[in-house]
Amino acid sequence: MANGSYEYQKPDSCAFVIFGVTGDLTHRLVMPSLYNLAAANLLPERFCIVGIARGGMPSEKLRENLLEGLRKFATRPVEDEIAKRLLQCVTSIEADPKDPDSFDQLKSRLEKLEANRETGGNRLFYLATPPSGFAPIARQLGRVGLLREDGGAWRRLVVEKPFGTDLASAKALNDELLKLVTEHQIYRIDHYLGKETVQNILVLRFANGMFEPIWNRHHIDHVQITVEEKLGVGTRGSFYDATGALRDMVPNHLFQLLSLVAMEPPARFDAHTVRSEKAEVLAAIQIQSEAEALQNSVRGQYIAGRIGDSGLPDYRSTRDVNPESTTETYAALKLTIDNWRWAGVPFYLRTGKALGLKRTEVAIKFRQAPFAMFSCTPVETLAENYLVMGIEPTQGITLQFNTKVPGPTVRTDGVQMKFNYKDYFQAEPATGYETLIYDCMIGDNMLFQRADSVEAGWKAVQPFIEAWKKAGHHGLQTYTAGSDGPTAAAELLTRDGRSWRKLD
Ligand code: BG6
């Protein structure tokens, strides 16, 4: 993202090695993104894709399997010529971290392939596996020397989410990886950073002169970050029941939004500076005691209801979910940031599944104008001033302000000024992973999480994790699928004299 010549720079020749090549993530996101990059002529000149299959699979079979996935998940009609060009790059190699010898063989086969394809020894290892695979795979790659940067070639490790399940496990994983590679070789993916509307938060704040002077506690009353989903837990019962809404969404996706909104202006638009400012603001989130965490949070679990035309059963009757589960499918938190810009400005975060609407947005609520001047007019209240960054499905920016209602008396009403991306820009349909994968190949890690950010995120949510675990059933709210969440989430704000922004 950092480079001005983004659209034209071709990545260095390299080998793109995928662990988990037959998995969902590869089919849904990785291959469709590589296809889109191929269509835009943004893949390296000399390139090979190595699919690591645990049980072994002939290359031809893997190509067929990937083509099938591509036809299903590509974001645009698949053109035979482009697909052929891409799939010609694919080779299957067998390796399993449980069988260390297989990594010695992987090394020699990969080196031969690299020599054949003249990729220059640059390698990207993409860990598209369940998290339990991250450390064992990296350990084996390290042991056989595949991660060592030598001979002028780069070696990169792309790690998918979730990165740890709490502070201790995230630290342990960072420690383990950092024994094998240096920080600049690790690309921790958070797919939120691949979204144009998320990247635009930086541009909105720092490429315009009018927002930054009022972007502080003197003018902003509070910030709301909302990620609401209509989908229930579906077939992910076993993962989700061990994870819950907080771990699944907050330290990663919601904190990406928070850090972009709350960070100090970076002096330069480069990966180190931007990531340092993001890490700094995450580290400034006030760490709450468990008692404070209980007071400043709401967790809920959905019960049967209807979303649109379809009925959804109780969360607890989802396949692979414990019938007595206390896992939250909804979380709302109140956080504060201990620095000069934000002291006293609450950040309210909420996220949940099986809600009536799909909505991801950041709403900045400005302080109310003094009312005194209107006290001798028919105006009873002023509408709230919001700047709303719509991430999904509304992609755009809305400014809400008061205006005079035409007529002989002074009356006011709240109106909105709206910018919609689609009115101005015609983007090709994309997965959102293209930028991330492209950035891994050109070595720009601005849109990836650094170890310190990941740990600061977990540190801030850890008291909530602990407090909720101890509380068990106690305090767990229920909400009907298709509703707008537990009523207690509204109370989290009303007790502060505030309310969640209603959808337009
Ligand atoms: C994933 C979570 O990381 O993000 C899912 O594991 C969630 O549970 C998804 O549905 C939300 O992503 P998006 O882009 O649809 O907001």
pLDDT in tens, 405-421: 999 999 999 999 999 99
Ligand 1: atom nearest CA of 192 is 14
Q: Going by CA atoms, what residue is nearest to atom 6 of ligand 1?
A: 248
Q: pLDDT grade, residue 4 (50/70/90)? A: very low
| Mean pLDDT calculated for residue range 282-291 | 98
- DSSP-derived pairing of the beta strands 90-94 and 347-352: unpaired
- The residues near 353 (Cβ < 8 Å, ≥ 6 apart) are 229, 231, 232, 233, 245, 302, 329, 330
Q: pLDDT grade, residue 9 (50/70/90)? A: confident
Spatial distance between the Cα atoms of 167 and 454, rounded to a whole number of angstroms: 9
Spatial distance between the Cα atoms of 71 and 73, rounded to a whole number of angstroms: 6
Spatial distance between the Cα atoms of 308 and 187, rounded to a whole number of angstroms: 38
Whether the CB of 360 sits within 6 Å of ligand 1? yes
Whether the CB of 229 sits within 6 Å of ligand 1? yes
Spatial distance between the Cα atoms of 187 and 440, rounded to a whole number of angstroms: 7
Predicted pLDDT at 60: 97
Ligand 1: atom nearest CA of 392 is 16
Beta bridge pairs of residue 311: 306
- State the number of CA atoms in the 13 A half-sphere of 206 facing the CB: 16
Ligand 1: atom nearest CA of 236 is 8
DSSP conformational letter for 254: I
Which of 193, 230, 240, 248 is the best mutation target for the ligand 1 pocket, counting ligand atoms within 8 Å of the beta carbon and taking the most?
248
Percent of the chain whose pLDDT exceeds 70? 98
Cβ–Cβ under 8 Å, residues 436 and 196: no
Question: Could you identify the residue written with the tokens 């990729």?
Answer: 119
For residue 351, report the phi and psi dihedrals to the nearest 5 degrees. Answer: -155, 145
How many angstroms separate the alpha carbon of residue 253 from the centre of ligand 1?
Answer: 8
Residue 253 is among the residues annotated as catalytic for this protein? yes
- The residues near 16 (Cβ < 8 Å, ≥ 6 apart) are 34, 47, 48, 49, 50, 124, 126, 441
Spatial distance between the Cα atoms of 215 and 269, rounded to a whole number of angstroms: 19
Q: pLDDT grade, residue 8 (50/70/90)? A: low
**Greatest extent of the chain over all pairs of C-alpha atoms, in Å:** 86
Digit-coded pLDDT (tens) for 349-391: 999 999 999 999 999 999 999 988 888 888 888 999 999 999 9
Predicted pLDDT at 3: 46
In 336-485, which ranges are E strands? 347-352, 359-366, 386-392, 396-404, 412-420, 477-480
How many angstroms separate the alpha carbon of residue 406 from the centre of ligand 1?
Answer: 45
Ligand 1: atom nearest CA of 195 is 14
In 207-264, which ranges are E strands? 220-228
Predicted pLDDT at 5: 43
Digit-coded pLDDT (tens) for 205-220: 999 999 999 999 999 9
Predicted pLDDT at 377: 84
How many angstroms separate the alpha carbon of residue 359 from the centre of ligand 1?
Answer: 12
- Greater model confidence, 359 or 429: 359
Ligand 1: atom nearest CA of 391 is 16
Predicted pLDDT at 375: 85
Mean pLDDT of the chain: 95
| Mean pLDDT calculated for residue range 226-248 | 96
Q: Going by CA atoms, what residue is nearest to atom 2 of ligand 1?
A: 248
How many angstroms separate the alpha carbon of residue 227 from the centre of ligand 1?
Answer: 9
Catalytic residue among 184, 253, 272, 473: 253
Whether the CB of 351 sits within 6 Å of ligand 1? no
Whether the CB of 248 sits within 6 Å of ligand 1? yes
| Cis upstream peptide for 346 (omega within 30°) | no
Instruction: Report whether pLDDT(296) > 70.
Output: yes
Q: Going by CA atoms, what residue is nearest to atom 14 of ligand 1?
A: 192
How many angstroms separate the alpha carbon of residue 233 from the centre of ligand 1?
Answer: 11
Ligand 1: atom nearest CA of 240 is 8
Q: Which domains does the chain have, with CATH numbers?
A: 14-160 (3.40.50.720), 193-494 (3.30.360.10)
Cβ–Cβ under 8 Å, residues 44 and 12: yes
Q: pLDDT grade, residue 55 (50/70/90)? A: confident
Q: pLDDT grade, residue 429 (50/70/90)? A: confident
Predicted pLDDT at 6: 47
DSSP conformational letter for 99: B
| Mean pLDDT calculated for residue range 137-159 | 97
Whether the CB of 439 sits within 6 Å of ligand 1? no
Instruction: Report whether pLDDT(7) > 80.
Output: no
Distances (CA, A) of 276 to 263, 344, 451: 9, 23, 11
Spatial distance between the Cα atoms of 25 and 490, rounded to a whole number of angstroms: 35
How many angstroms separate the alpha carbon of residue 397 from the centre of ligand 1?
Answer: 22
Q: Going by CA atoms, what residue is nearest to atom 4 of ligand 1?
A: 249
Spatial distance between the Cα atoms of 12 and 120, rounded to a whole number of angstroms: 9
How many angstroms separate the alpha carbon of residue 484 from the centre of ligand 1?
Answer: 18
| Mean pLDDT calculated for residue range 60-71 | 97
